[in-house]
Amino acid sequence: MAIHLRRKHNITSDQPQNCKPFTATLSSTEYSKIPEPGNKEVLVAVQKVGICGTDVEIWSKGEINDEPINHTVPGHECSGIVQKIGKEVTGIKIGDRVAIYPIIRCGACNLCRKGDIICCNDFKCLSLTNYQYGGMMRYLVHPADLVFRMPDNVSFEEATFVEPLSVVLRACMKAKIGKGDNVLITGAGRYRDRFGFL
């Protein structure tokens, strides 16, 4: 497997098939041990990862929204196969094909308890918050309640769109847009395209 990342200079990492996973930082490529899942976590072998405009911004500028990102693994839109499960995990089994929801919340604050996990004061996100895991790893550990089994007819590539499409679907639901409604979609970018798709 090879990954080629470019910023000010080329960074290339070639791995034999039996090599351990790697993490890419903004200035280097590192090899690390395959992580072990905690009691409520799963180990996922990443199969596909989408490259979001945010990933490009982090790589090209080293920051997002003017906030420096010092060490990250790119890729928050990803899918894979469950390899190991924690002792307390239910509803997910080894071998399940899953889409991964990238935002990890504390689960304890008032906002989390109300269901506003995106507003959690202590949230982390794959590839976006100096978090140790991202989709451009061969393996990542993630909370079991944030991976979702995919039907067999959904490809790993299609599953990488779960997160961006959920943003669009939520916006449609909040706006009370229904089938057959006439709407005006303004702006540019891929979320506009997703609105048109739905």
Tens-place pLDDT, residues 100-151:
988 888 888 998 888 887 788 887 877 666 566 778 888 999 999 999 999 9
CATH of 34-160, one of 1.10.3720.10, 3.60.15.10, 3.90.180.10, 3.30.70.260: 3.90.180.10
H helix or E strand, kind and range, residue 112: helix 110-114
Q: Where are the domains of the chain?
A: 34-160, 161-198
| Mean pLDDT along residues 52-61 | 75
Band the pLDDT of 2: cuts 50, 70, 90: very low
H helix or E strand, kind and range, residue 111: helix 110-114
What is the rounded distance in angstroms from the CA atom of residue 44 to the CA atom of residue 112? Answer: 24
The phi and psi torsions of 59 (rounded to 5 degrees) equal -65, -45
Tens-place pLDDT, residues 61-98:
777 777 777 667 778 889 999 999 999 999 999 999 99
| Region of residue 189 (left: phi > 0; alpha: psi -120 to 50; beta: else) | left
The pTM assigned to this predicted structure is 0.74
Tens-place pLDDT, residues 157-194:
999 988 888 878 888 888 898 888 888 777 666 555 55
CB 140 within 8 A of CB 35: yes
pLDDT of residue 4: 30
pLDDT of residue 190: 57
Q: Which residue has the higher pLDDT, 138 or 198?
A: 138
pLDDT of residue 129: 63
